[in-house]
Structure 1
Amino acid sequence: MSEFHPPQAGDKLTTRCCVVGGGPAGLFLGYLLGRAGVEVIVLEKHQDFLRDFRGDTIHPSTLELMHELGILEEFLQIADKHFDSLALNLEGKQIEGPYFTHLPTKCKFITFAPQWDFLNLIAEHASKYPNFQVHMQAQATDLIRQGDQITGVKVNGVNGEYEIHANLIVGADGRGSQMRIDAGVKIVEKGIPIDVLWFRIKKSGDSIDHTLGRIKNGRMLVTIDRGDYFQTGMIIHKGYFDELKQEGLEEFRNKVTDMLPHLAEGIAEIVDWNQVRLLSVQLNHITNWAQPGLLFIGDAAHAMSPVGGVGVNLAVQDAVATANLLADKLYKGNVTLDDLKQVQLRREAPALKTQRMQVFAHQRLFGKQTPAGRPVSISWGFRKVAGLFAPLLRQKAGKIIGLGFLPEHIQTPERAPKETATTT
């Protein structure tokens, strides 16, 4: 494989497919298309994949795809912990939650891996194919049109602005998608009443804790065991962060210590608000995933909330379905609008079902309208059901979380490239 040189200002590249966004959806799609012999360029606006507090919960559905691709064992070497079940701590009482041991997959557990390690692994394997390229520090700014047809994108790169012209542009640039704005698609918001504060709490000892959620005195923490620390999320009402900061760091530490007293020493190391990051939770979808020459997938098509940790996995499922449906068409160079609509036809229903599940969980856990700063409102119905988590309910929840509503499988072949990219 020849050494990659970033395009120069004024260059005009041509390719079969240009994927905007180097997250799980975009990079996984680029990998599958490159593997299937399709000429593809993935654009990533940052200089690397190292960005904190990105989704890193990898479910059995995604692990199964990596097994099918032959990269599972390599991935498991970078995964932190494996959990074949999850638990909830409600007012000091441990309640067993979803379990995954019954799933028809090679890996009957969920795992956690830093998303940058996951993306680096995918990029490394994709780069083995000469018709795959990833352009780092390359931000797509505008769509290029010829009449009603999208024919390319303008890109700000390390050497200046250049253009990429392609049979297909895929918008996989997340919930803040610039391509989505430029295309003028309609966004349907679902009014989520919470935000999440992300921070790390240092652990002592090597014990493993599979308690994912903790609810006490009307407050909720998400705790992900990462070995020597907990990746922790405090659920707050939307817009409450400024008021929380006014109360002071000591009061914030007290709130966390009340729920995690055995980690008081680690909590004490949070001495600056810069150690606490605000994740503004969004839950929305677009109504039209496809235009002539343009397709949206992943968070750009349906932004998910953190409930269930499904975001990364749903994005990867979108990528696999897109490759399954379009790789042969792209290989031959004849993708139509009807072909693109087949992706939405297949993936929209499971995405919307998942969002309805998340909305239900938000309403039951946090209420529809609760004043900012008030404790999380845990409905009496949830308390009753949580205390009686029946095995059948735990099994069903494990299937929905672990596999999703429509798990995909690799159907694209591994073959030689059709052609190579050109620059003018």
Structure 2
Amino acid sequence: MRLLTRHVWFRAALFCVFAASLALAGAVVGPVLSYDFGTKIGAKSVDNILNVLAASMLTVTTFSLTAMVQAYSGATSSITPRAVQLLIDDTTAQNALSTFLGSFLFAVVGIIALSTDLYGETGRVILYIGTILVILYIVVTLLRWIEHVANFGRVSDTINRVETAALKAVADLTVPLRFHASTTTFPADARPIRCDAIGRVTHIDLSDLAEVAEEIGTVVNVAVSPGALIDPARTIAWLSSDADDRQIRKIADAFTIADNRAFDQDPRFGLVVLAEIAARALSPAVNDPGTAIAVLDAGTRVLAALLRHHPDETNANPARVTIPPLAFRDLIEDLYRPIARDGASMLEVGIRLQKSLLTLTGLEPFARSACEAASADALERAEAALTSDADRNALLRLRHQLWEAPHMPA
């Protein structure tokens, strides 16, 4: 249901159904009103208003759709294609497009109904009042859309969207963070469960797994995390006891497999997309270190949220379901390695990267070794890429101050 409501057509269809229903409501409610009341409020003028509304809303709908497509194309070519889905899911843009399309349909249905004398003299009153309400809603939506479209699809806006999606995935995380990923080992008598599809795990239905585990009387051990690439040969879960075909099929169906990764249960994907944005900005064709620094700040906040996250009773795993924890070292590499590689020749990026890594070390003791290793890797790359001795020495002095005298301010 959540995925369905994110589609543009779903919201637009709801607005259109409501608009058509409102336009036809006058035929039902109109007979209860008096003729004098309809005459006093000028309901006869509704014909002209609907004609103007139909012409203008068709133009505004076309403009809005063009602006959205241009934002998607710009994000694909200049930011990263992986972030486009967040723009498509934007509720403000979907509401604007749905409002304008629904208003156009409202006007067309109203004009058609008027031409067939469906309303009568009193039914026009309901149509007139509905038209005024629709116009007021259009004005409010248009004002919000004008403000929104100024930043829609821009680099800073996309970074904020990716960060927000990653933070939401962190808040919903059901497993704690670990330094290393746990090695998946299967007992000799384990019953492996596989899936016929080839793709990425985008969602794991823990409630379904818990129901099957309760029915079998054992623990369902999940072997993959959201975002993992699976194939028919890879085990996605295993049981310590046997189960019938229906139960095995229900466990396999609890894993949603798609062609591409999704942000919902995969905070690691958010870090990957942030790193892609920084890598595109650091390419010679763009040469935008400021964007890379903004990505480092956003990634630091996401990693800090991961380090502080401790699943509670509201989002912990069911008692009979186990999921492998996220590995902090993998998360560090996902974010910092591409930026250290592509921004090695830029001193300002190197400075921000070193300070960002130091920020994380104060949150959890186990984070220091991974951060220090990433810091050393970034320094090694920068030493090889920096052409100025002054820049190289400045970065060396900074790293010495940060990591050998961590009490100094970052």
TM-score normalised by structure 1 residue count: 0.21
Work out which structure has the larger RCO, using CA pairs closer than 8 Å and 6 or more positions apart in sequence. Answer: 1
Higher strand fraction: Structure 1 or Structure 2? 1
Higher helix fraction: Structure 1 or Structure 2? 2
TM-score normalised by structure 2 residue count: 0.21
Larger Rg: 2
